[in-house]
Copies of this chain bind each other. A is one copy, B any other.
Amino acid sequence: MSSTSAVQTFADDIDARPIAASYSDSVEQPLHCQQAGKVSCGNCRLSKICLPLELQAPDIDRLNAIIQRGRPLQKGEFVYRAGQPFASVYAVRSGTLKAFSIGENGEEQVTGFYLPGEIFGLDGLCKSSYASSAVALETAAICEIPFERLSELSALIPSLQRTFFQVMSKEIADDQQLLMMLSKNTAEQRVAALLLSISTRNARRRLSSTSFRLPMSRTEIGNYLGLTVETVSRVFSRFQKSKVIAAEQRNVELLQPDRLRQVASGG
């Protein structure tokens, strides 16, 4: 999973432009990159988010060499499905994905949303098959990092190994954070926390932290937060009535972010 504050790691490019433009549904050219040519870790705007380590140029190249970049995913396309053999972890380059698993009763449970610069697929490692499925919520570009290769490289580059341990540890800490939220917080606190989480993650990518488009439906939000659609909708309405946010469909503006923080932490 990855919740209030998301995992941040390997990835490569795109997506660092004013909010209005980011509503676009297609993968755009990395106009802002030094060379508007080939995508690589070396020239990726997200690399500071994605790689919280200081690698030397040759090491970056070695990492870059093992990363595979396919064609963009269409909305609804799967990256992997639960049960498939585990082979790679993934970094989001643009777009948004969700991970979810199916409970014994057949119910879907959303376990995380992944924004550009974030890593997913980490849960597959322990059983050598993915525990959840990952699907694109909108057109998305991702970097595939074959795990075996990453493992080998990690053994050679200590700081990479350490970084990867940190990435996994962060996922654990985030899950525990979310856990705490689901078991103790009210509907308003949960929704506030999610909005703030998206806000923070946008800020990291130099996007507006107060005005953005939610990449997921109300139903998906509810599922993720352990609430029904109706409750989510009502909370949105209440937040609007009290002028804490403005929202029209999936577009949201945080009018009083600090008030929202107050709500999130039980004010």
| A contacts, CB < 8 Å to B | 1, 101, 103-105, 107, 109, 111, 122-127, 131-132, 151-152, 154-156, 158, 161-162, 164-173, 175-176, 178-180, 182-184, 225-226, 265-266
Number of copies: 2
Given contacts A1-B175, A172-B171, contact A151 B165 (CB under 8 A): yes
Q: Are B126 and A184 in contact (CB under 8 A)?
A: no
Looking at the complex, which one of B162, B168, B226 makes contact with A169 (CB distance below 8 Å)? B168
Expressed in whole angstroms, the minimum distance between the Cβ of A261 and any Cβ of chain B is 10
Contact at B109–A165, with CB atoms within 8 Å?
A: no
Point out the residues of chain B lying under 8 angstroms from A169, CB to CB: 122-126, 168
- Chain B residues with Cβ below 8 Å from A152 are 158
Whether A104 and B175, one on each chain, are in contact in the complex, defined by CB atoms closer than 8 angstroms, is no
* In-complex Cβ contact of A111 among B127, B155, B176, B226 (8 A): B176
Closest 3 CB pairs of A and B: A183-B226, A125-B169, A175-B175
Could you name 24 residue pairs across A and B whose Cβ atoms are closer than 8 Å?
A1-B175, A101-B176, A103-B180, A103-B184, A104-B266, A109-B184, A111-B180, A122-B169, A123-B172, A125-B168, A126-B170, A132-B176, A151-B161, A154-B161, A155-B156, A161-B161, A165-B168, A168-B169, A172-B172, A175-B175, A179-B179, A179-B182, A182-B182, A183-B226
